[in-house]
Amino acid sequence: MADEARNAGDTHEVALDLDEQGNDDLEAAMRAAVAAVEEVEAGSRQEAPGGDDQDEVSKLRQEIADLRDRSMRTLADFDNFRKRSERERQDLKRYALLEPMRELLTVADNLELALSAQGSAEDLKRGVEMIHRQMRELLRRFGATEIPAVDQPFDPTVHEAVSREERDDVKQPTVVAELRRGYRMHDRLLRPAMVKVAVPAEPAAAPAAAGGGEEGPAL
C-alpha cells in the first residue's frame, strides 16, 4: 500500500511538471500521462496483498484501469482532431481561390466571345472596354483597390519609379505618368504602381564673381 501511495504521488508530480512546461506539446503530455498511469498500474500488480487490504487494492486497480482507459480515449480523440484539422487546413489552402476563379471564368468567356465576334475595330474596342469594366468591378468585389498615382506625391511604399525627369513646375517628387496600375488587397500592398516621376529642377549654378584677378588652375 505504501508503494502504491508513493506511485500515486509520483503520478501527481508528473502532472504538475507537465503543467509547468506550459503545455507546449499537448500530445506529448498526454502520452506521458498515459505512461505514468501504466507505470502505477504495473506497480500495483506486482504487490500481493492479503486480508482486509484485498478489496481496497482491487478498487484502486479498477480506478487506475478506468483512468488509463479515459486517457487513451482522450489521446485518440486528440489524434482524430489533429488529423481532421490538418485536412481542413489543406482543403482551405487548396480551394481558397475557388470563388475568384469561378468569377474569372466569366471574364475569360467574354474575351473569347470578343475575339471570335465579327465586326469593326470600333465594335471590338467597345467589347474590350466592357470586359475591362467587368474585370475592374470583379477586383473591387474581392477587395482589390487601385492605388492613386498620377499627380500624386511620389510614395516609395506604393509607387515604383522607373523613370524620372526634372521640371520647374513641381515642388516635390510627383508622379506624372502611370505605366502600370498598382493595387492594394484590403490593407496590404498587392503590387506597386509603376510610374514616371518628375522632380524639382536643380537650381542653376551661380555665375563667378567679377574681378578679383586671374584664377589659378583648377585642381
Q: At which residue does the C-alpha cell 473591387 appear?
A: 140
CATH number of 144-202: 2.30.22.10
For the segment 37-50, the average pLDDT, to the nearest whole number, is: 59
Task: Please give the average per-residue pLDDT across 24-44, as a whole number.
Answer: 64
The pTM of this model reads 0.54
Check residue 203 and give its pLDDT: 75
| Span 51-104, pLDDT tens digits | 556 777 777 777 777 887 888 888 888 888 888 988 888 888 888 888 888 888
Q: At what angle do helices 53-94 and 26-46 cross, to 10 degrees?
A: 160
> What are 125-178's pLDDT values in tens digits?
888 888 899 999 999 988 899 999 999 999 999 999 999 999 988 999 999 999
- Please give the share of the chain, as a percent, with pLDDT higher than 70: 68
Smallest Cα–Cα separation from 158: which of 139, 140, 136, 180? 180
Distances (CA, A) of 179 to 11, 116, 185: 70, 29, 20
What is the rounded CA–CA span in Å between residue 81 and residue 51?
A: 46
Scanning 142-173, the segments in alpha helix (DSSP H) are none
Q: What pLDDT, on the 0 to 100 scale, is given for residue 14? A: 41
The full set of domain ranges for the chain reads 2-47+54-94, 97-142, 144-202
Report which residue type is found at 64. I
d(C-alpha 7, C-alpha 14), whole Å? 11
